[in-house]
Structure 1
Amino acid sequence: MADVLPFSEITYLFKEFEHTAWRLETRREYASDRNGDNWKRWQAGERLGFDPRHPWHANVRAQVEAGKRFQRVRIVDDPPTEGQRFLLATARSNITAGEDIRVLPRAEAERLGLPDFDFWLFDSRILARFHFSDDGTTLGVELTEEPSDVLRACQVRDVAWHRGFPADDLAWLM
């Protein structure tokens, strides 16, 4: 296994990619969500929206305005877990920032043989695979440009993207 880096050491990739940043999200919940202020606000019934001052939203907007794409597919259980319901509730703000988010039911992802780990794929050439603890805490990220790993990630992206439903179209839940 390659070195596992702190996530903070790869954040430059979210600004320096040339064309596309693509994410596969597979976890049922993330500690970073559960421990954040937005989680508490969401649990209190507050509707969370786009915030142009939020660093993620500001960067996504800037990159999209520069002609780049942010895309992700979230694998979701039926019924969605509490963590997945939170992500669905916050998807609109990321979409407003400029992300294109799709959702894929877990049963379909398993049928398609998609991996059970999260990753970002930058420009179809750099793979950033996440490592998590059992409670969903990010332990770090493994970066690779190994052609066979990147090719597999590209194949996963293509399958997941084409089978996913737009996140704001909740008809997939029915």
Structure 2
Amino acid sequence: MTETGVVLEGVVGLDFVGIDPETGKEGSPMVLLDNDKQELVIQGLKADDALNAEVGDPDSAEDSDLDPESEYWRDWTAMLREATERGVAVRRARIVSEPVTLYTRYLHAMTPVNTAAGEDVRWLPRRDACDLALPGADFWLFDDRVVRFNHFTGDGDWADPRTSDTEDPAVAKLCATAFEAVWERAVPHERYTV
């Protein structure tokens, strides 16, 4: 991963690609294209690998647009395809309570959009994670080095601040170890039913 400095709107050579549609059009990660280097820049960082762990159970379901080419998904799926085509591994693990909430049903129904674009997604019932040491918030881990935590309120809305970042090696190691433990136990999307 390479530091690229402060990203300002309108900076020559950087084009906005999109953000993860699950962030409600705000939050993380924002993706830009560095035209000079032909590299993706993820909120000031170029990722070689990205992991996402979702440990919460929000109970609201928004728009249920499942067309990967729709305006809602287009930028995210294009970014995923480009990243995975150049060898970036994008894995997402969802730890969920069972019986699942309406929102988890929504996530499950829309996951084929993610997998078709190149994400590898797995599901772990919360009861199977009881003996794992897990961070207390959803996170993205880039290249086993940079962690972006997503912060939510008790009712599933974004908290203020929405995210926090760290490059603390101990935190990155905790998140990487937790993710791999979840990944090892989790069920691939195509085999997990709700």
Which category describes the TM-score, using the shorter chain as reference length? Answer: 0.7 to 0.9
Pair 1:103-2:132 in alignment: no
More strand by share: 2
Between 1:119-128 and 1:22-31, the stretch displaced more is 22-31
Runs of 5+ consecutive residues of structure 1 not aligned to the other structure: 1-6, 42-47
CA distance in 2, matches of 1:70, 1:52: 21
Q: Is the Cα contact below 8 Å between 2:53 and 2:138 reproduced in 1?
A: yes
Of 108, 117, 128, the residue aligned with 1:88 is 108
1:22 to 2:48 alignment: no
- Larger helix fraction of residues: 1
The TM-score with structure 1 as length reference comes to: 0.79
Question: 1-side partners of 2:47 and 2:108: how far apart?
Answer: 28
Name 1:37's counterpart in structure 2.
63
Gaps in structure 2 of 5+ consecutive residues: 1-25, 32-41
Q: How much has 1:170 moved relative to structure 2?
A: 2.2
Q: Which structure is higher in RCO with an 8 Å CA cutoff and minimum separation 6?
A: 1
What are the residue-to-residue correspondences of 1:1-174 with 2, within 5 Å?
A: 8=27, 10-12=29-31, 13=42, 16-29=45-58, 34=61, 36-38=62-64, 48-51=66-69, 54-139=74-159, 140-170=162-192
Equivalent pairs counted in the alignment come to: 155
User: Measured at CA, do residues 63 and 30 of structure 1 come closer, stay the same or move farther in structure 2, by a change above 3 Å?
Assistant: farther
Aligned-partner residue type, residue 141 of structure 1: T
Alpha-carbon distance change, 14 to 70 in structure 1, aligned in 2, over 3 angstroms: farther
Distance 2:43 2:90 in 1: 9
| TM-score w.r.t. length of structure 2 | 0.72
How big is the shift at 1:111?
A: 2.8
Comparing 80-89 and 110-119, the one that deviates more: 110-119
RMSD: 2.2
CA distance in 1, matches of 2:192, 2:29: 32
Alpha carbons of structure 1 residues 135 and 90: separation in structure 2 relative to 1, 3 Å: same
